[in-house]
């Protein structure tokens, strides 16, 4: 074992001439342990919420969504799109027409997002598991039907299987507004609500009304080859990244191919920002705890003045003496980081499996705080503590160097 490390380890665990030094060293290590444990646990909670939201969105969002870069509508009947349809990794291919509209139910009116989907939509998503009432029926053989988000249904005052239909109003794209008879300037459709769904996300639950693709094209005045987006479900075990790249190579720069994270890019970006801001704040708190090492190491240097003189008489140079006390201070950080990471991961796994900390209040989709341990975060926290501890130990060692130079 390296001589400086052996002496530093002995100084760390051996009894000092003053018990206060042992107490201060223990407090320094305890502060690092608690700080490290807190950062690991908090980052794991952020990861847990991110995975929970990802799971909720994945029940409704497709594996890949294709949109045009410029404009809103594109032609899906071209030879290029046929090449996309026949890619070996694609399980289902669904054309979508989506736009804003006005809904009226009895005496209530609400703006909404009307999404027209094809026959594969039910196979591509877990919409059946999201239904809170009714069934996923878009046409019953006689009347047009639609499935509505629970928030939107509540705002309109309707329910699944209601006897009264919802009337959809959409301005005619190809005609000017008739000021004499404004109602003639709108395309209208009568749709019965066959079911309601809940994704537990307001962007869907409070805005979406799902209807058939044929009805949506008629409402928004599009032909049978037009779509505002294309949604794709991949076969099991097919790499999303490889499929995304293959489609991008076929379609070129005129289209954007979005995976699930990119479809909700703003939402996940905000969550990432919140996570790393919290990490920085907790790191500053940890830095204060690490600075306790300066006090304990300074007192140790004072306590070991006789030992320093003995080492010099035995032939130890200034670099060796400095290295001993630098490693001494750093060992406190290493032990604190190691123990803190272990306790932090144990606490996180315990919360994940036993749910010790409950969410207060009702209406939550889960009963306790979600947790997911991401090992890259654990390694980052461990490295952060080691770097902080190293620089904290440099300060008293620097003054030790000046004192040693004076005695030359």
Domain limits of the chain?
3-57+267-406, 64-263
Q: Contacts for 69-78 with beta carbons within 8 Å, 24 or more apart?
A: 69/253, 69/254, 69/255, 69/256, 70/254, 72/99, 72/228, 73/222, 73/226, 73/227, 73/228, 74/226, 74/227, 74/255, 75/225, 75/226, 76/225, 76/226, 76/227, 76/230, 77/224, 77/225
Q: How many CB atoms lie within 10 A of CB 352?
A: 18
Q: Is residue 204's pLDDT more than 50?
A: yes
Query: Rounded to an integer, what distance in angstroms lies between the CA atom of residue 63 and that of residue 257?
Result: 10
What are the tens digits of pLDDT across the range 92-141? 999 999 999 999 999 999 999 999 999 999 999 999 999 999 999 999 98
Three-class SS of residue 171?
strand
Q: Does residue 358 have a pLDDT over 80?
A: yes
Q: Between 39 and 301, where is the model more confident?
A: 39
**Where is pLDDT greater, at 18 or 223?**
223
pLDDT bin (cut points 50, 70, 90) of residue 316 is: confident
> Among 191-205, 235-249, 296-310, which stretch is predicted with the lowest mean pLDDT?
296-310
Q: State CA 68 to chain mean position distance.
A: 26
**CA 163 to centroid of chain Cα atoms:** 41
Express each pLDDT in 30-46 by its tens digit.
889 999 999 999 999 99
Alpha-carbon radius of gyration of the chain:
32
Rounded Cα distance between 182 and 171, Å, is: 10
Q: Which pLDDT value is given to residue 405?
A: 46
Rounded CA-CA distance 336/340 in Å is 6
Which residue in 38, 16, 35 sits closest to 25, CA to CA? 16
């Amino acid at each position: 074992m390296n001589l400086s490390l052996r002496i530093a380890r002995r100084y760390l665990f051996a009894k000092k001439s003053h018990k206060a030094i042992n107490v201060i060293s223990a407090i320094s290590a305890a502060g690092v342990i608690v700080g490290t444990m807190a950062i690991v646990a908090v980052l794991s909670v952020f990861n847990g919420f991110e995975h929970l939201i990802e799971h909720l969105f994945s029940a409704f969002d497709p594996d890949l969504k294709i949109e045009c870069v410029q404009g809103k509508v594109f032609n899906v009947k071209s030879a290029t799109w046929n090449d996309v349809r026949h890619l070996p990794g694609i399980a289902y291919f669904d054309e979508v027409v989506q736009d804003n509209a006005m809904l009226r139910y009895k005496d209530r009116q609400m703006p909404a997002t009307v999404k027209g989907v094809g026959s594969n939509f039910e196979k591509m998503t877990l919409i059946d598991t999201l239904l809170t009432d009714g069934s996923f029926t878009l046409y019953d053989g006689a009347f047009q039907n639609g499935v509505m988000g629970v928030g939107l249904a509540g705002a309109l005052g309707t329910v699944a299987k209601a006897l009264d239909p919802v009337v959809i109003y959409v301005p005619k794209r190809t005609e000017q507004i008739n000021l004499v008879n404004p109602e003639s300037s709108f395309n209208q459709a009568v749709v019965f609500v066959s079911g309601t769904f809940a994704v537990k996300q307001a962007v869907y639950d409070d805005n979406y009304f799902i209807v058939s693709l044929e009805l949506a094209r008629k409402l928004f005045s599009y032909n049978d080859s037009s779509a505002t987006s294309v949604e794709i479900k991949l076969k099991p075990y097919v790499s999303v990244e490889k499929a995304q790249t293959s489609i991008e190579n076929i379609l070129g720069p005129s289209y954007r191919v979005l995976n699930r994270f990119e479809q909700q890019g703003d939402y996940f970006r905000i969550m990432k920002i919140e996570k790393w801001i919290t990490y920085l704040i907790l790191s500053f708190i940890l830095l204060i705890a690490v600075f306790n090492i300066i006090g304990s190491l300074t007192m140790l240097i004072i306590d070991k003045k006789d030992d320093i003189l003995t080492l010099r008489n035995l032939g130890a140079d200034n670099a060796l003496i400095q290295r001993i006390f630098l490693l001494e201070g750093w060992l406190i950080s290493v032990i604190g980081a190691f123990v803190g990471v272990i306790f932090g991961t144990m606490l996180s796994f315990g919360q994940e499996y036993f749910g010790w900390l409950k969410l207060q209040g009702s209406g939550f989709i889960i009963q306790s705080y979600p947790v997911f341990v991401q090992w890259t975060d654990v390694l980052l926290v461990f490295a952060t503590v080691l770097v902080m501890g190293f620089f904290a130990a440099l300060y008293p060692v620097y003054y030790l160097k000046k004192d040693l130079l004076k005695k030359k």
